[in-house]
Structure formats: C-alpha cells, structure tokens
Structure 1
Amino acid sequence: MRIPRMLLILSFASLVQVAKASEPRPFELGVVPYLPTTKLVMAYQPLRGHLENELKRPVVLSTAPDFVTFLERCLRKEYDAIVLGPGLGRFVQIEAGYQPLAVTSRNIKAIIIVERHAPYTRLKDLSGKRVAMLDPMIVLSQLGRETFRQSGMQPDRDYRIRIVKTPSNAAHAVLQGEVEAGVTTANLVPQLAEDMKHRLRVLAESREIPGLMFMLQPTPALRIDQARDILMRFEKTEAGRQFIDAMVMDGLRMPSEREIKSLDVFLPEFRKHFKR
C-alpha cells in the first residue's frame, strides 16, 4: 500500500514540531543599553557562553533602544535575567519581582565632562550652557543634577538639559560641539577610544552608589542561590576575569540589604514616570 506523499510530508513536519517543542526555551539575558548595541553584545558574549554551558540551554542576549524601553520590558518580565543600574534594579525588584544576584565591586558615579581645552574650571562656569544627560528619571541623570544642585544650579534656570539615549551619546555630544558639557558614568571612560579620552576631561564628580546589578526572575527551575553560584563561578574562569577587566567592574560581590534599601531615594522619579 502506497502512503500518499503529502501524508509523509505532514508526518515529518509533525515530528519536527514535536522535536522543537521538546527543546528548552532560550534563556534571555537583558542588558541595559549603556553602550552601543554592537559593542554591548560583543562585550557580554563571554557571560552568555558561560550561562549557556551552565544552564544546558540556549542563552540569548537582548537590549533595547533606550533606557525607558528597557525598563518597560523589565516591568513586563520579558527577560529571565538582567544587568542594569542599581536604581533601576531596586525599582524592578519592587515592581516586577527581580532579585539581586550580585553587584560590581566598582561603584557607580556620575561625572560631568567637557572638551579638554574648554575654558570651564568649575560647574558655575556652565551657567547658561547646554548639558547632555539621560532621561531625568535615570539614576545617572539624578546624580548629575544633584551635583549641579550642590553648586547652587538648577536645570532650565541655570543650564539647559539636552536628553540623550546612552552615556556614550553624552560624550559624543560634547566632542561634536552639540553641548558644552555631558553627564556620563565614570565607568564608561576606560571603554572609550583613546582619541576620545584625550579630547575630554572631567569637570566634576558625583557621590558614589553601588555598581551595576545582576538580577534574576527566579523560577522553580532556577533559584536565586543556584544562579548566584553560576555567576560567581564565572568570575573565577579565565573568560570571566577577562570580561571583568575589560568592563572595568573590579569583580562581583553580594550587595548588603542596607545598600539595596539606600537606593529607595531614587524611586520617586521612576514612580512618577510610570505612574506607580
């Protein structure tokens, strides 16, 4: 008896679908867009590979076009794990249930940068000037504005804010003459091209807060303690050490409960933006 060819094709297609259905869903690691996308994806490949080996399932890297879109995706729990700034991390811990695994040993601080040969010697010299910074709700921007306030300066009244999408955009805006100053992160500077470093200088610095935060949306299949062990083992591998050196993280550590709660000061801006 001859089996119709179409029936064979349908049967084969069904087998393929069953095989695909049995494959584990890719684990998605979301990284906040603090670097250009291509550079970000390349930089985090060692961590992606380590997670894939440890979890025994495909791991994909994701980001977003800007901080706000990334945060919206976190609030919808679209990522299995995330890497983001500490203020954002505290917000999604409360609002979406992500839990801290580790923070970088190197803390975060905002720096106000200007062109190397610009005449400014103090923040007051930027009166009436344009300053590039992230969306006002982002912690880096909040730290920058706090630093200006300590010099008696208020946005709109004493300086004009130009919103940019990433910390690296702030540096580029200064070099391209679009603004007189930019607020960015001190951790970005070592990752800039050498010619960019030589064309910029730091005019002022903010206080420090805990570093980049690694977080997990825990599930019965992957608990917090399991994920933390996997992450900490990465730091001890050759690839992990190279990654941490390249990203200027100075290592990984457990944040204290006190450190986490100290970030609550940044929550009002997030809640105002997202009406929560």
Structure 2
Amino acid sequence: MSHSAARRTASLALLATCLPRFSHAQDLPSLEIGILPNISARVLLAQYEPMRTFLQRGLGRGVQLSTAASWNAFHARTLGLEYDLVITASHLARVAQLERGLVPLLMYEPAIKGMIICARKRPLKSAAELDGQTLALSNPQSLVTLRGFQWLSEKSLVRGRHFKTINTPTDDSVGNVVLQGDAIAAMLSGGEYRAIPGPIKEQLQVLATFAEVPGFVVLASPRLAPALVNAIKEALLRFAGGTPEGTAFFAATGFSAIRELPPGLMASMDPYVGTTKAILANPG
C-alpha cells in the first residue's frame, strides 16, 4: 500500500470512529430552559440568546428558551417539571426546591434592587406621600414587592389601609400607568426599570431604592441525570467566565456574574415561603 493510500485509510478509520459520536450527539434530547417572565417575552428571549447559543454548542445538544404569560403560569410549569433548567426568583426557587425537589445550582449577581418610581411632572418627596394614593405593581408576586410592602409597613404605610395597589402585566406598561396618572407611583425591580423603553423612562424618576434582594437562582429538574446536571453547571460557569457570549449577555441584562450559591441562601427564603404560596394561589 502506498504512503498516500495508507493516509487515506487512516483518515477513513478516524472518520468512522467520529461519525457515531456525532450522530449520537445529534440524537440527544434537547434541553428546555424556563425563564421567569419578569420582563416582556420579546426582550427576555433576545437577552438570553447568547446563553442558548453557548450551551447548545458546549453541551452538544439542542437548547430551547421558554417563558410564560405570567409568573403564576411559569411557576405552575416549574412545579409541573416542564422545564429542564429553571431561572427564577430566589423565593420561587425555594418553593420549587421544597415542593418538587428541583436542584439549586447557581445564582446571579448583583442582588436585585427594589425601587419606587414616580413621574417627573408629579414628583414625590417621600414615601409618606403614598398615603391615600394608588401604587402600581410591576410584579405582585416578586420578592421585591414582598420586601417593599415590609419597608412601607415600617413607615406605617399598610396596603389596603393607607394605600391601594393595581397590577400591571409587564414592565412596558408600568411606566405608562404612572405617566397617565392611574397610579401616583410604581414599585418594581432594577431590572424591570432598566427594561422600560427610553422615551418613557425619561419622564420618570426614582423616589427610593428601598432594598436589595438575592438575585435569580438557576435550578435543574430532578429528572435530569446527575452527570448532565454537572455538565450544565460547568458550562454556565464557563459561559460567565469571560466568554464573548457571556459578555454580551451581561451587557444586555445588567447582571454581572453567575456564581456558586452561598451557604444558607435557599434557607434564607423560608420566611417568604408561606406568603409566596398564598399570593400565587390568590394572585388578585
């Protein structure tokens, strides 16, 4: 056999060993990532596209992004184990862990700011001016809202007694609700405020930043094999470690890191579990 023929035979043998692996990778079931709809689905899915692309390449299988029309619908799907990977608020993550055995993997940084905003043309000087007024809520089930009600109660402002609230479906509308005068102010997260369209945001101002709550948590379905869960976790840490896709993701979302869960974080959500379940059961 000539030298060139031997090289061709070796190449074909190498290709033969690679083809089954390639075929097997293509046959692997895709992963579905469920993302809490804290902002509009259009913006959310665009922000997460770099993560989808990176994980699909790194894990060698298809990756699909999903969300839901509301926090309640999303949480119901989470408890129904409809997602392979879940990215959700820390208090919802704790409920999912306790009720359905989802496995916490990582958390986002920085912590989430809780804010109250008002219209520039109708500025408020202090939270005390909410007395007798209407406050718009961007996400009534959010940890920011729960912590915000606690902050207001410390100022002797109790929902239903000193002020009333109205719910708005997305960040795109909460600013309009305030500008139109349907509410004197709105309570929302820093990420939701960031997502308000520029022309609307220019007419708003921040009355107070009242707290910082733990960032989003990444959880794996208990149905996933441990080896795959570890591979996903390692891939996400690589993604957040300075890759072009990770850099694009952080620039678009305002997050700065994805890191290991600090000890005690999940248990620190226990005081909110009962209230969270009650609100999800009665969203009105």
From 233, 249, 253, give the equivalent of 1:247.
253
Q: Deviations over 1:124-168 (max 9, x none)?
A: 111111111156443122122112112110111111110223344
Distance in 1 separating the partners of 2:29 and 2:166: 41
- How far off is 1:196 after superposition? 2.4
Q: Following the alignment from structure 1 to structure 2, what is the Cα–Cα distance between the partners of residues 92 and 270?
A: 11
**In structure 1, C-alpha distance between the alignment counterparts of 2:226 and 2:61, rounded to whole Å:** 12
What TM-score do you get using the length of structure 2 for normalisation? 0.83
Equivalent residue for 1:52?
56
Among 247, 272, 276, the alignment partner of 2:278 is: 272
Match of 1:112 in 2: 116
Equivalent residues of 1:147, 1:205 under 8 A apart = no
Tell me how far 1:232 sits from its aligned partner. 0.7
How far apart are the structure 1 equivalents of 2:120 and 2:105?
Answer: 39
Equivalent in the alignment of 1:35? 39
Looking at structure 2, the residues matched to 66 and 182 of structure 1 have their Cα atoms a distance apart, in angstroms, of 19
Q: What 5-or-longer segments of structure 1 have no aligned partner?
A: 1-18
Aligned residue-pair number: 255
**CA distances 1:51-86 after superposition (whole Å, capped 9, x unpaired):** 111222211111110101100110101000011111
SS for the counterpart of 2:266 is: helix
Secondary structure of 1:258 counterpart: coil
Contact 1:133 1:167 in 2 (8 A): no
- 1:204-223 residue pairs with structure 2 within 5 A? 204-218=208-222, 219-220=224-225, 222-223=227-228
Runs of 4+ in structure 1 off by over 6 angstroms are none
Distance change in 2, residues 1:220/1:155 (3 Å):
same
Residues 197 and 149 of structure 1: CA distance in aligned 2, closer, same or farther (over 3 Å)? same
**Larger deviation, residues 96-105 vs 32-41:** 96-105
Query: What is the alpha-carbon distance in structure 2 between the residues aligned to residue 273 and residue 200 of structure 1?
Result: 28
Displacement of 1:90 = 1.3
Deviation at 1:255, TM superposition (A): 1.9
Aligned counterpart, 2:18: none
Instruction: Mark the runs of 5 or more structure 2 residues left unpaired by the alignment.
Output: 1-22
2:265 is matched with: 259
> Does residue 188 of structure 2 align to residue 180 of structure 1?
no
For residue 231 of structure 1, the aligned residue among 219, 229, 236 is: 236
Q: Percent identity?
A: 25
What TM-score do the two structures reach when normalised by structure 1?
A: 0.85
Cα deviation per residue 1:91-148 (whole Å; 9 max; x = unaligned)?
A: 1111122222221221012111111221411111111111111564431221221121
Change (3 A) 1:31 1:172: farther
Give the distance between the partners of 1:118 and 1:251, measured in 2 at CA.
36
8 Å contact from structure 1 (residues 133, 182) kept in 2: yes
> Does the CA contact (< 8 Å) of 1:98 and 1:215 recur in 2?
yes
Task: Tell me the distance in 1 between the aligned counterparts of 2:91 and 2:175.
Answer: 22
C-alpha separation in 1, matches of 2:271 and 2:190? 21
**CA separation of 1:27 and 1:223: change in aligned 2, threshold 3 A:** closer
| 1:234-274 superposed Cα distances (whole Å, 9 cap, x missing partner) | 11211111111221111112121222211112101133356
3-state secondary structure, aligned to 1:208: strand
Q: Which AA in structure 1 matches 2:225?
A: P
Task: Give the superposed CA RMSD.
Answer: 2.1
